[in-house]
Structure 1
């Protein structure tokens, strides 16, 4: 079990290890009234990745909290929906990095309005100057350690929707808040999960859906030339809150925009 905290009641205690060391992880879920987009996948990822960090939590307990949160918050928002955020930390107390045995996790629950939706005609992005380092032990986990994304997001201006981060070898990895999916003449390409700071639930969902439809999908490193070269038939940013975002320009270079991918994902069809 965990100690439950509501952000509108004051939040986590000052000695929480998530605040002190980033010792935890989080999920951001798009809600429509009292149901969540890809909710099961979000909860399964939190349970799985918490286990990788040595934090025990049950899916049933998380699901019960989501029900409570929906009843508490849904009436405050109108229109397209709202955002439910679950922040799970190892717990409170202790000085130093070494956690005490038998710590009880803390779960912070908060809600916020749905952000503006992207332009279906495509968005402008750029390459980030901040390299992305991914520890293999932490690959894919949506942990609280997001300082590289914070620094990269500071590069965003009013004309940019996102910046794309590369690893130290120059391969494109992901945006500050999005995963990448590239369309080429012989199929789809996405960076492998082992290279990602965050392996998004929408990314996994769409890869499964494309393969079910008989599409060829390759998980391999993506070079800048793959995006700027003649075999690029479209670049998409994936985010379970924002959906599929076609890229119209990257670093001033025009890209082909294909809106067909968006037709396979309707958030309302994945509500649970």
Structure 2
């Protein structure tokens, strides 16, 4: 059902907002190029699916379609949308008359383009993602697992942390999706997100294009891969140059290095980076 929405741009939210109090809401982070939102239909589809899953009334689409135009003539921008259930209800009880609250902000953006070519170092996180099938794939406001995982390192040389679920299966990075090039299948694999994780919009587009294949896999799949990448709809595709798996004890960390200058690795990365960057308007290095 459509709903009356309190839309206030970057205005403050009241103390009793349910998104602030309980994480009761969703968000989207959209790359906007000269007023044109990229992967816009995928972002709106994920938001719509999340609103339906949480039982939050759906605003009219015209409210969202008007927002990217604020970036016309501004080059590359990031549009962040925050959608909460609004205020009201006693404790966790839902308000009888829900009036969702929309907040948004548009900010200039410059991608970390050097990482497209030189690659990044990632590490394995000790934190594990709990399984909750009902919330799997959604970009909801409850991101404490990501916060807890991200605080495991402060080394600026490490770009991302890789997360497994409580069953030890690969899921994603703290702020990006994950993929690896399987030596035997000769294709790019990405973790299946039936139990947890965020179903990224770039990931979804690449799945629909047949570039990625979903699979349940342990970290050994990445360790044996010909190449690996982390990616999202804002930064594009970062090849993994080194993967560090730190141990709980005094034993040295495990490391796996991919030499990005080697032709098999370089060609594998291009098979993912070319179609992904075409969707975002980014060059391939």
Per the TM alignment, residue 74 of structure 1 is displaced from its structure 2 partner at its CA by 4.9
Q: Secondary structure at the match of 2:43?
A: helix
Contact 1:26 1:142 in 2 (8 A): yes
Q: Deviations over 1:213-266 (max 9, x none)?
A: xxxx5422221111112xx11111120001111111100320254331211132
Do 2:79 and 2:105's aligned partners in 1 also have CA atoms closer than 8 Å?
A: yes
Higher relative contact order (CA 8 A, sep 6+): 1
1:106-125 equivalent positions in 2, closer than 5 A: 106-114=101-109, 116-118=111-113, 119-120=115-116, 121-125=118-122
Equivalenced residues, count: 254
Moved segments of 4+, more than 4 Å: none
Q: Which runs of 5+ in 2 are unaligned?
A: 245-254, 261-265
- What does residue 31 of structure 2 align with? 30
Q: State the TM-score, normalized to the length of structure 1.
A: 0.87
2:220 alignment counterpart: 225
1:1-272 pair list within 5 angstroms: 1=3, 2-7=5-10, 10-58=11-59, 60-67=61-68, 70-71=69-70, 73-74=71-72, 77-78=74-75, 81-114=76-109, 116-118=111-113, 119-120=115-116, 121-156=118-153, 157-185=155-183, 186=185, 187-210=187-210, 217-229=212-224, 232-251=225-244, 252-257=255-260, 258=266, 259-260=269-270, 261-265=272-276, 266=278, 267-268=280-281
Partners of 1:62 and 1:34 lie apart in 2 by 15
Asked if the contact 2:133/2:196 (under 8 Å) is kept, the reply is no
> Once the 2 structures are TM-superposed, how far is the Cα of residue 155 of structure 1 from its aligned partner?
2.5
Cα gap change, 1:130 to 1:154, in 2 (>3 Å): same
Q: CA deviation at 1:106?
A: 0.4
